[in-house]
Each structure stands twice: as C-alpha cells, then as structure tokens.
A and B are shown apart, each in its own frame.
Chain A
C-alpha cells in the first residue's frame, strides 16, 4: 500500500491543479477574514469571532472531485491500475488517501493564514476574546472538514468520472437543492455535506447541530461515498 500511496502522492503534487487550489484556498480565507472581521461591523460574540477564523473546506471537495475525475478524463487511472500490483479498489483507496493527506496540508496552510490574519484584527472587537481553546477547536474543526471534504470530493470524482459533470452536480446541489431544503427545514441543510462542513468549520453557527455532530454527519457521508466508489471501481471498466 505504501508504494501506491507514494505514487498517488506524486500524481497529486505534480500538476498545477493543487497549486491553483492552494492559491484559491488562501485567497478565500483572506477574503473571509476581511469580510467577517473588518467589513461586517461589530463582532461581540464568540461564534461570530470564530467565523472569522473559518476557511473554506468545501473548496477541497471541488479539488478532490476535479482531480480524481480527471484521472478518468485523461485516462491516467488505467496505467495506475495496470501497474499497482493490487486490485483497483485498493489503488483507488490509495488515491483517496493521497487526497486526504494533501487536503490536510492545504487545510493547514489555509487555516494558518486565516488564524494569523484574523486574530490581530479581532483584538479590537468588543465582547469576550477567543481563548486558546476556542482557537484550537476552530482549527481542529477546519482541519477535519478539509480532510473529509477532500476525501468526499475524491470519491465523488471516482464515481462520476467527469470533472464537468461533477462541477455541474456540485453547482446544482449548492444553488438549487440546498436552498430548496433550507426552505423546508434549516436543520435538514445541516445534514448535507455542505451544511455539516459549514458547521464544522464554524462558517455557520447557532444551528441545531453541534460541531461534533456535524463532524459525524460529514464523516458518515464521506465514508458512505468512499465505500461505494471503491466497490464500484472494482466492477466498472477502465477506459
């Protein structure tokens, strides 16, 4: 398995996609800090201040999806399966693990930028200051959300096998399904991967779901989709 992971890590690190998403993730984090800590006015509650530290983990869902779906688009999945010395499901598991590790790296970079930029700006805000425990919990929640989002995206990409289709599906879910669901029940939105990731990263607060519960919801989605992707990978043809 270690040789598979090494090979898949080389693949994730040797295209410009990862660099693009790293730059995009940092840019979103900076924008979020400025939008929440500077432009949104007074922040006098701890959850509001925590929101300023939040990054955008769901971006890694898109990265994972585009990356693994691209393996099928560019036909790079077949050569990997032909040399891996393990069945295709194990090769895909290694690929997903590589995305999880790179997701952790990207998440750490983005969260460090968020925290480093936001904490000095939040000192001028009224109300209780964030304790080191609060900051640690936000960082941990974000990192978990980053890693799970990367895994979920990679698994979805392997299932859909088309970056364009994947992006269209994500847009439909984000801009049509979730607004419809929120019209029915806000608590239902929190049970979607998008909603759970938002709670886990503190992007949304004052919800019916606790941070830990959100973590379990996102983990359950991730595990289910990854399992289906691995099982399906063993059965489908590779182009």
Chain B
C-alpha cells in the first residue's frame, strides 16, 4: 500500500478500521482501513470486483463486517441510527420499485425519514426529474434512475453523502451538474465519499483518493499527491538535445527519448529544465510538462492495464 496522507480534512466523518467482509470462502474486503475527512470529496476507486460496493455497504451499515469496524461521525455503523439528515446513500441499483412512480418512491422515503413532503418536490427539481416524476420507474432510462437514486440520497440534505458509481448513465450535462453539486457541498462543509470507475472524470471532482484492489488498500492520499507520484515527465524539443541532456543529468535528472525524437526529462520540473537551458543559451522549440493521469497512477498501483 502507498500512503501520501498527512490527513487533510477536518475531523473524520467516516473512519474504517480493519474492515473485512467474507462471503463463504470468498473475501470481498480484506483488512481495509481508511478515513474520510469532513468537508472533502473522497474518491473510492478500484477495478471491477475490487470490493468497493461491499465496503460502502459496510460503511453505511447495510452489510455486517466479518471483522473490523466502520464509524460514521464516531458511531459504529452497526449501531448507527439511520438518519437521512446525517447520511445520504446511493448504492446501485436505485432501490425503487419499477411499478411505482418516481414521486411515490420519494414520497415514501420522505415519510419514512420523517421529512416534510415539500422536500420531494425540491429534490426532484434539483435532479431535473420533475417532468418524469409521475412516470413509473420501470420506464426510466438508466440516467433517470441514477438521478432518482441521487434525489433519494439528497432528500434529507445530509451532512455526509455516500455514492456508489454516481456518474454511471449520466449524460455529460448530468456529469457536470453532479460535479458542481458535490464540489458545492464540500465547499459548504459537507462530506462526500464516492466510488467510480470513470477515473478521469472523478479526478476533476475529488480531493482525496482511496484505491483498493482485490479488497485490499493500495493507496490513500490526496489527488495531487497521487498525480505527482505518477512520475510526471518534461518533454523538450531542441536542436541541442545532447547538450541539454548532459545539463539535466548534471542537475540530478534523468533523460530519455520519446517516439517523436523529443527529449524526455524526469526528476526535474519544467521550470528547472527551462532555467538550465536559458543559463547555457540553448534554444528550445517546445517544452511541455506531461503530468501522469489518475488512470496512469491507478494502473501503476493495481496493475490493471495488464489484466
């Protein structure tokens, strides 16, 4: 496991300690420990079958851990008194009966949660489902079901949101809307824990990253640290590549060549390389910092690209 975290958020909204979940002989989650800070958007990533959904179910108290514990605001998840104002949860599928209308589904949940009926209209408007609310859920598209599930999670305007693959099925407009919504909630002190396999999209939304593979933790830290740890490279095009290479090596960097004949520099950032070139009067035709993507880091940590 890698960890670059000096824990960044406020007090822990969610704390998981040694969480293990077995189904018969199969271990879905294996000794998982992590913390989700208040006022942060934390991404929970892993390949298909890594144990993300199982772990989230244990965190919100739907599944009993075989070993270990999960705490929400310091209360063990198994003893948590479910409250839509504290914890809003969306775990696929959306949990609505196909024969019921979207509005009726939310009305029943609002009543169960002891929330005023007006919240139903408010969240339907928030997720853009007012017009479809009288239709039966069985007729909804995947994106509409996703929005309905999110509406249910948002009913109590909760302090903490736990969302399992919330962008699945959303159109680009919906993805942008969700990103803004989640960032706004975090900016206002709310906490979001979301799982996703759309890493590029999630990278624009999350502050912190938890990566698991085969039920085990492989990385916990901030998104910036993860991207930085992914060995960013400077690509330089110059007629005097040999001279620049010598300067880079002398300054402690490493060099190589890319497919187009450009000089690849590792271990120095773009400013340092530019300064070296300027000092020796080298003419640079192009200089670019190529930052490792979240996908690069993800595949590096899980070996996912090879599977």
Q: Please tell me which stretch of B103-111, B217-225, B257-265, B299-307 contacts chain A, meaning at least 4 of its Cβ atoms lie within 8 angstroms of it.
A: B103-111
Other-chain contact of A237, B62, B96, B109, B110 (Cβ < 8 Å):
B62
Decide yes or no whether B74 CB sits under 8 A from chain A: no
Given A10-B111, A74-B97, the answer on whether A82 and B84 have CB atoms closer than 8 Å is: yes
Pair A79/B109 contact, Cβ less than 8 Å: yes
Decide yes or no whether B63 CB sits under 8 A from chain A: yes
Given A78-B91, A237-B63, the answer on whether A14 and B101 have CB atoms closer than 8 Å is: yes
Number of residue pairs spanning A and B whose beta carbons lie under 8 angstroms apart: 94
Decide yes or no whether A219 CB sits under 8 A from chain B: no
* A13–B93 alpha-carbon span in the complex (Å): 22
Pair B108/A14 contact, Cβ less than 8 Å: yes
- B residues 268-300 touching A (CB-CB < 8 Å): none
Other-chain contact of B60, A3, A7, A82 (Cβ < 8 Å):
A82
Pair B95/A78 contact, Cβ less than 8 Å: yes
Other-chain contact of B64, A4, A11, A87, A237 (Cβ < 8 Å):
A237
* A136–B61 alpha-carbon span in the complex (Å): 48
In the assembled complex, 24 residue pairs joining A and B whose CB atoms fall closer than 8 Å, in A order, are: A3-B113, A6-B112, A7-B108, A8-B108, A10-B104, A10-B107, A10-B108, A10-B111, A11-B108, A14-B100, A14-B104, A74-B98, A75-B95, A78-B95, A79-B109, A82-B84, A82-B89, A83-B83, A83-B84, A83-B112, A83-B113, A237-B63, A237-B64, A238-B63
Chain B interface residue count, Cβ-Cβ cutoff 8 angstroms: 34
Closest 4 CB pairs of A and B: A7-B112, A7-B111, A83-B113, A14-B104
Q: Which chain A residues border B81 with CB–CB below 8 Å?
A: 85-87
Q: Which chain B residues border A80 with CB–CB below 8 Å?
A: 108-109, 112
Q: Which chain B residues border A11 with CB–CB below 8 Å?
A: 97, 100, 108
Decide yes or no whether A206 CB sits under 8 A from chain B: no
Output the least CB separation between B22 and chain A (Å): 12
Pair A6/B101 contact, Cβ less than 8 Å: no
Interface string of B142-174 (1 = CB under 8 A from A): 000000000010011000000000000000000
Output the least CB separation between A5 and chain B (Å): 9
Q: Which chain B residues border A235 with CB–CB below 8 Å?
A: 64
Q: Which chain A residues border B112 with CB–CB below 8 Å?
A: 3-4, 6-8, 80, 83-84, 91
Q: Which chain B residues border A81 with CB–CB below 8 Å?
A: 62, 82
Pair A6/B111 contact, Cβ less than 8 Å: yes
Interface string of A7-19 (1 = CB under 8 A from B): 1101100111100
